Amino acid sequence: MENMKAVRVHNYGGPEVLRFEDAPRPTPGSGELLIRVHAASVNPIDWKVRAGYMKDYIPLPLPFILGWDVSGVVEAVGSGVTKFKNGDEVYARPDVTAHGYGAYAEYVVAKETETALKPKSIDHVHAAAIPVGAVTAWRALFDAAGLREGQKVLIHGAAGGVGSFAVQLAKWKGAHVIGTASTRNQTFLRELGVDEPINYEKMRFEDVVHDVDVVFDPIGGDTQKRSWKTLKKGGILVSIVGPPSEDEAAKHGVRSAFLSAQGGSSLLAELATLVDAGKVKPIVETVLPLSEARHAHELNETGHARGKIVLKVA
């Protein structure tokens, strides 16, 4: 079996457990593609899995390779693959739980149903920033919340990896967007298209935000608790960090939903179309080589990244 360079986790712990080393190169099975990785992006789920917080929900055989976001070139196809061929530039959200092999590597296997042709107008680094963040935002706003033109949406963490996509998608849909972020990101929120930027370091959002149709919550905790009162009756709070309290929802006469980033090739293809049309732009703040995955995790864990952190592999 051929080897490749990868970043593996042999035991749960802090960023120091990420080991840049040789690992067996995966082989595509039926309905799968082998992708030569050009870039992989870092998501909060990565460090939560690495630290062991998710082991009851995302069972992975040790050692495993993290990375749910990838952009690269098709190196080989398994039997039954009809949509892609060698040399195609693609991006994907591979199911790491299927093999324990994610995108922090020179090669990754993804199912044909998880893969789409990458947007033509951007490079691999920016394409790798899209799948998890944009799919999560899309599903939260449109599938769970049913966000429509003319509605008001409060987006927390609006400068972050998921929040920045949520802002752009909500604006594309014609919604009025209120977004929370720190002092340093206020101008950036305006650039993204936020109608009402709120500096959470200087004011409490619940004092100034009222009667919104949708709250998008990628933060949880105290932020989520304080968000209920900003909703109009019949509105909805959608969380991507944990199931919101049904009792709180009932008390405020609103609805709640919880979801994770499930989304296949058709949604990725639609997002690629929006990117190429200039409607959505992936925001990448930091690019690091694969060997510096540890530093990437340290940065991501601060919770203050603007847009995405991407590992450049090829």
Q: Per the domain annotation, does 37 fall within a domain?
A: yes
Q: Give me the mean pLDDT over the 171-175 stretch.
A: 98
Q: What is the mean pLDDT of the chain?
A: 95
Worst-scoring range by mean pLDDT, 26-30, 108-112, 258-262? 258-262
Q: Per the domain annotation, does 274 fall within a domain?
A: no
Which residues make beta-bridge pairs with 294? none
What CATH number is associated with residue 183? 3.40.50.720
Give residue-wise pLDDT tens across range 76-107: 999 999 999 999 999 999 999 888 999 999 99
Q: What is the DSSP secondary structure assignment for residue 81, as one 8-state letter?
A: -
Q: Per the domain annotation, does 161 fall within a domain?
A: yes
Q: Per the domain annotation, does 263 fall within a domain?
A: no
The DSSP line for 30-54 is: TTEEEEEEEEEEE-HHHHHHHTTTT
The DSSP line for 259-281 is: ------HHHHHHHHHHHHTTS--
Residue 76, domain extent: 3-130+282-312
Give residue-wise pLDDT tens across range 231-249: 999 999 999 998 999 999 9
Neighbours of 259 (CB within 10 A): 15
State the total domains in the chain: 2
